[in-house]
Each structure stands twice: as structure tokens, then as C-alpha cells.
């Protein structure tokens, strides 16, 4: 195969040829950490390509952590992190750190890892795909032994799978929690059986005489999609017609507004409604506020359910009917699975741990039989 050709015999783009050549020189030690690279003009002349093409190649090398630019000085070879495999550092990446269920999930992870002599590097993405990619890029520059990660917007196609590929290239195992991307569905993970959870809570409402059940679900993550599937399954099993107009979908960015507004609009339209199945406890509390602001009583007029059995599910004699989320236990299981991967225990490359949900009956629902 001649230089510049792919394995299919087709000529590679010119920027790719330059990028590959420079990367090879870094790998072989011909360009060492701290060395200054030839200027754009010099590379342009040497490879007989335009400066724009040179910039494109350098931008890729920069994004992959091979080089860095200093204004007015030039471009330099970056000090590549050696992944020693014995740093005792584990990265934990979640969508949020201090909100909702996440502190207890992190606590469960920390208990296991601290006991085994590991330190945690905490990162959060605020459920942003670009921030997740940035976190992974930063972590690839650190000497870590593994990562536990909650993917951001896990139902949406992942455009940075090459970063996960880079983790594998460096021998850094990772475990997904709470969801995973479709392209990486065979990777190790610890999940709630959210489809069964959505089914159990909807079935409970049906068994207690509810027939006009509204659904409120998050559309951009795997959990919301699976809880919706369980909701649909329970309705169909009971012979109730599934009506997509009776489901309110929301995205991460509009979670504070859209569920509230959606319920208000249904009440204004006088839509038949005797209960609401909510994506989680946070959304349930917003739905309850919307119903109360519209003059409806919970549970006397309309029953409401949550999911996760979080701290906000109970207070002042009130307790949501919800699904238990074993927050600390999930964190512990994820940490134990990652340690098994680090210690090269066999047969875990595609391990999936599915936690069975449990219904908790509170006083946010009224038996309507």
C-alpha cells in the first residue's frame, strides 16, 4: 500500500495524510513532548498542500491531545499522559452532582472505592452532550484506572463514540449507569429496569380504578423512553386505548416549564384525566403544583405518581406513590463492576446488571373503584 492510500485502495484526504504522518512521528518519538512543530508555511511547502489543509490537520491533532498551540510562539507536542494502570484514580461522571438522587449514587460509589484504596475524580455534564465530550477529553489526559459514567441524553445518537474508543485503546475500562447509548449497548452497565417500573406504577393505577391516565415522560434519555414503554404496555394489557395526545413529552432544557404548562393546558381543555404517571418525583411535584394552581385537588380529583422515591417524595404527612430507586446500592454495584473490570476478571466485557424496581404506595393516589 503506497503512502496516502487507505486499505480500500482509495486516496485519503490530504489533511488526513498530514495528520497521520505527524501522529506517527509523535508515537515513534521523532517528535518529542515539548518539541516545536514546523510552521504552517513550512508544513504547507513540505507536503505541497494549502495552509487551510494544514490547519485542519493540526486542529484534529489538537482535539485528540497530541499538540497544543501558544499564541505568538507556535505549535508544540503535548506531554502525553502515561496510563500506568496503578494510579488508584477513578473518574465518576454524572449529569448532575448535587441535585436530586445523585449525591446518594455518588456516596455508594465512594464507599466501595474508598474501601479499596481508590480516589475519585468527580465530573458533571449538566446533561450536555458537548460537556460530556469535553469531560472525556480531559480525563483522557489524566492517569486514571477507570470511569463510571452516566451518559448525557442517552436516547440521542452519540457523536463522540471515538472518545470511548480512545478509552479502550488506552486500556481504561468504563461502566455506564442509569442508561447507555445505542451504539455502545453491549458495554458494561448498571441500570434500573425502567420499563418494568413504568409498567408496575401504571398497572397499580389501573387496578385502583383509574382509566384516564396521562403520561409525562422525558424524551431525550433512555430512562424516559423505557418508562413510557412500560406505561403503554400496562394500558394495552388492560384493554385501554393508548392515545399519544395524552402523553406530554419534555426535553432536559424545558423540564422546569413544559410539564407544568402541558398539564395546565389539558385541564383548560377539560381533558378527561383521573391520574398522571410522571417520569420522576421532580416532575411529579411540578405536576401537582400545576394541578393545584388550576384548582384541582391531589389525590381527591387527580392521582399523581412519581419515580425514584427521592427525598422530595415525602414531607408533612405527604408521600408520593413512586418507584424505589436504590441509589446507594446502584452506585455500589457500579463501583464493584468497575473494579472487577480493572482486575481483569473474565466474562464482564458486556456485563449488564438490571435492578428490579419496587412499588412504594403513598397517599398521592385515591382508590377510585
Domain ranges of the chain: 14-77, 89-192+328-355, 194-325
Which SS3 state, helix, strand or coil, does residue 364 take?
Answer: coil
- More confident call, 1 vs 218: 218
Lowest mean pLDDT of 26-30, 119-123, 194-198, 343-347, name the range.
26-30
pLDDT digits (tens, 9 = 90+) for 277-316: 999 999 999 999 999 999 999 999 999 999 999 988 888 8
Rounded CA-CA distance 218/303 in Å is 20
Compute how many other C-beta atoms are within 10 angstroms of the C-beta atom of residue 346.
Answer: 6
pLDDT-derived band at 349 (thresholds 50, 70, 90) equals confident
State what percent of residues in the chain have pLDDT above 90: 76
Question: DSSP per residue over 163-182, as a string?
Answer: HHHHHHHTT--EEEES---G
Give the CATH number of domain 194-325; options: 3.40.50.2300, 3.30.1450.10, 1.10.150.530, 3.30.565.10: 3.40.50.2300
Res 8: pLDDT: 42
Rounded CA-CA distance 40/209 in Å is 73
Distances (CA, A) of 174 to 38, 139, 183, 200, 258: 37, 12, 15, 31, 34
* Mean pLDDT for all residues in the chain: 91
CATH class of 14-77: mainly alpha
Average pLDDT over residues 130-154: 92
> Virtual CA dihedral for 262, 223, 129, 343, nearest 10 degrees?
160
* 321, β-bridge pairs: 305
CB 311 within 8 A of CB 319: no
Question: DSSP per residue over 4-21, as a string?
Answer: TB-TTSPBPPHHHHHHHH
Residue 32 has pLDDT above 70, yes or no: yes
Res 6: pLDDT: 41
Residue 170 has pLDDT above 90, yes or no: no
DSSP state of 58: H
Whether 89-192+328-355 shares its CATH topology with 194-325 is answered: yes
What are the backbone angles phi and psi of residue 116, rounded to the nearest 5°?
-95, 10
pLDDT digits (tens, 9 = 90+) for 190-241: 999 999 999 999 999 999 999 999 999 999 999 999 999 999 999 999 999 9
Rounded CA-CA distance 19/24 in Å is 9
pTM to 2 decimals? 0.78
Distances (CA, A) of 163 to 145, 295, 338: 16, 50, 18
Fold of 89-192+328-355: Rossmann fold (3.40.50)
Among 112, 361, 95, 91, smallest CA distance to 223 is for 95
* 276, β-bridge pairs: 214, 304
pLDDT-derived band at 9 (thresholds 50, 70, 90) equals very low
Residue 1 has pLDDT above 60, yes or no: no
Amino acid at each position: 500500500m503506497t503512502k496516502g492510500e487507505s486499505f480500500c485502495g482509495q486516496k485519503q484526504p490530504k489533511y488526513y495524510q498530514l495528520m497521520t504522518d505527524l501522529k506517527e512521528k509523535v508515537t515513534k518519538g521523532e517528535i518529542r513532548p515539548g518539541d516545536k512543530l514546523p510552521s504552517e508555511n513550512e508544513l504547507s511547502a513540505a507536503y505541497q498542500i494549502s495552509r487551510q489543509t494544514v490547519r485542519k490537520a493540526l486542529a484534529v491533532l489538537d482535539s485528540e491531545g497530541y499538540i497544543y498551540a501558544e499564541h505568538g510562539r507556535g505549535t508544540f507536542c503535548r506531554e502525553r499522559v502515561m496510563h500506568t494502570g496503578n494510579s488508584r484514580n477513578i473518574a465518576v461522571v454524572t449529569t448532575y452532582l448535587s441535585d436530586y438522587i445523585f449525591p446518594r449514587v455518588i456516596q455508594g460509589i465512594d464507599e466501595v472505592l474508598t474501601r479499596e484504596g481508590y480516589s475519585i475524580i468527580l465530573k458533571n455534564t449538566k446533561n450536555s452532550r458537548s460537556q460530556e465530550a469535553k469531560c472525556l477529553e480531559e480525563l483522557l489526559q489524566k492517569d486514571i484506572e477507570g470511569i463510571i459514567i452516566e451518559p448525557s441524553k442517552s436516547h440521542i445518537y452519540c457523536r463522540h463514540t471515538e472518545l470511548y474508543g480512545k478509552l479502550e485503546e488506552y486500556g481504561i475500562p468504563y461502566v455506564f449507569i442509569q442508561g447507555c447509548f445505542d451504539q455502545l449497548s453491549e458495554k458494561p452497565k448498571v441500570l434500573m429496569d425502567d420499563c418494568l417500573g413504568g409498567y408496575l406504577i401504571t398497572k397499580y393505577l389501573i387496578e385502583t380504578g383509574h382509566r384516564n391516565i396521562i403520561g409525562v415522560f422525558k424524551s431525550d434519555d433512555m430512562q424516559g423512553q423505557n418508562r413510557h414503554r412500560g406505561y403503554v404496555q400496562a394500558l394495552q394489557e388492560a384493554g385501554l386505548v393508548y392515545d399519544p395526545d395524552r402523553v406530554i413529552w419534555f426535553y432536559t432544557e424545558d423540564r422546569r416549564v413544559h410539564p407544568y404548562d402541558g398539564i395546565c393546558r389539558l385541564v383548560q381543555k377539560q381533558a378527561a384525566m383521573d391520574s398522571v404517571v410522571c417520569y420522576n418525583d421532580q416532575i411529579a411535584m411540578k405536576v401537582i403544583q400545576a394541578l393545584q394552581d388550576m384548582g384541582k385537588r391531589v389525590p381527591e380529583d387527580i392521582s399523581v405518581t412519581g419515580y425514584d422515591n427521592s427525598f422530595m417524595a415525602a414531607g408533612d404527612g405527604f408521600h408520593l406513590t413512586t418507584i424505589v430507586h436504590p441509589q446507594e446500592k446502584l452506585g455500589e454495584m457500579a463501583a464493584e463492576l468497575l473494579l472487577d473490570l480493572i482486575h481483569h476478571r473474565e466474562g464482564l466485557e458486556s456485563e449488564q446488571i438490571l435492578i428490579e424496581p419496587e412499588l412504594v404506595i403513598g397517599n398521592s393516589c385515591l382508590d377510585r373503584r
